[in-house]
Amino acid sequence: MDLDIQDIIIAIDGYSSTGKSSFAKLIAKELGFLYLDSGALYRGVTLLVLENGWYNGDRIDTDKLVPALNALDLHFEDHGKGVRTYMGARCIERQIRSMKVSALVSPVAAIPEVRRYVDRRLHELARNRRVVMDGRDIGTTVFPDAELKIFMTADKKVRAQRRMDELIAKGEPVEFQEILDNLEQRDYIDSHRVASPLRQAPDALVLDNTNMTFEQQMDWLEGILKARFAR
In whole angstroms, how close is the CB of 231 to ligand DC at the nearest point?
A: 31
Shortest gap between Cβ of 109 and ligand DC (angstroms)?
Answer: 4
Q: Which is nearer to ligand DC, 86 or 229 (CB)?
A: 86
| CA-based nearest residue to 37, from 163, 146, 125 | 125
Q: Which is nearer to ligand DC, 68 or 189 (CB)?
A: 189
At its nearest, how many Å lie between ligand DC and the CB of residue 153?
14
The DSSP output letter for 137 is S
Q: Report the distance separating Cα 200 and Cα 105, nearest Å.
A: 21
CA 18, CA 198: separation in Å to the nearest integer? 14
Instruction: Tell me whether residue 197 or residue 229 sits nearer to ligand DC (CB atom).
Output: 197
Choice between 54 and 229, CB closer to ligand DC = 54
**Minimum distance from residue 16 beta carbon to ligand DC (Å):** 5
**Secondary structure of residue 11 in the 3-state scheme:** strand
Backbone φ and ψ of 76, nearest 5°: -120, 145
CA gap 159, 150 in Å, rounded: 18
- Residues in contact with ligand DC by the rule CB under 6 A: 16, 38-39, 42-43, 105-106, 109, 135-138, 186, 190
